[in-house]
Structure 1
């Protein structure tokens, strides 16, 4: 039996248990009150077992998988590398990776100021990292790009 069948059986037995005490005619009327009470208690106990089994069945049933959704990841890259430096769940982590690499390219006592530039008209575009040392600002070649991983294939998108 599955959960819904257990629920229906529990409801049927609960109704039947009540009928044991309402028997004024027929063969149930020939039973003593104690015998009808015993039958009623047995039906209620069995109904409880079916209700419990229905509850367990709902707890053990596999949950429906969540609907697929588009996911945005952030790709850290260097212009002279064929491969990305990494993919991150947020832009800050990708930027921190780039900044750490630039810091490693300079002496430990150098004071670096990082400046990320992005096209204000397109906030999802490529962010480029510049480093300022003193009054001189230099492009680094490091970038962070928001990349959308599509949840589903759309054959119309290729057309």
Structure 2
């Protein structure tokens, strides 16, 4: 059956259920079964009308965030905040001059795949650190055309 046929069947069954009397309200009777069957047909008609067939959807993009010092990767994380914390801890552990400064991340919000760079502000001066966090898209499958 297609959508319009299910709709007509639902209408017919509802009309038939009006003609069936329920004796003494003693539990389910033929009218109840007929109404339930009509509901099924109405649901199928609605599904057909709205195109409720499962549609192919592209998988959502998945990203990871790489913390790095220059060309040296420090770690890969599922969120940017964790990658930033790693960079900040690493600069404090390896740069005695960084203590007492405040950290600021510099990056272009309109270009989320461009690296964000860690800057240190200390004694009114701002300096670069070579620490970066880069968003990387994780592919679900190999795309040979991407290499072409």
Residue 112 (structure 1) aligned with residue 96 (structure 2): no
Q: How many Å separate the matches in 1 of 2:118 and 2:109?
A: 15
User: What is the total number of aligned residue pairs between the two structures?
Assistant: 130
Q: How many Å separate the matches in 2 of 1:124 and 1:96?
A: 19
Q: How many Å separate the matches in 1 of 2:12 and 2:74?
A: 64
Q: Which residue of 2 aligns with 1:3?
A: none
Q: Which residue of 1 aligns with 2:84?
A: 95
Structure 1 unaligned spans of 5+: 1-5, 21-35
How do 1:2-81 and structure 2 match up within 5 A?
Answer: 13-18=13-18, 20=19, 37-38=21-22, 42-50=29-37, 67-79=58-70, 81=72
Q: Which has the larger radius of gyration?
A: 1
Q: How many Å separate the matches in 2 of 1:8 and 1:142?
A: 68
Q: For residues 17 and 150 of structure 1, do their structure 2 counterparts lie closer, same or farther at Cα, with a shift above 3 Å needed?
A: same
Superposition CA RMSD, Å? 4.6
Offset from partner CA, 1:40-89 (integer Å, 9 cap, x none): x83321134446778xxx9xxxx8785313334322223364x4423233
Q: For residues 7 and 131 of structure 1, do their structure 2 counterparts lie closer, same or farther at Cα, with a shift above 3 Å needed?
A: same
Instruction: Give me the TM-score of the superposition, normalised by structure 1.
Output: 0.51
Instruction: Give me the TM-score of the superposition, normalised by structure 2.
Output: 0.54
Post-superposition offset of 1:145: 0.8
CA contact (8 A) 2:63 2:78 kept: no
Offset from partner CA, 1:77-106 (integer Å, 9 cap, x none): 23364x4423233x4443233223323446
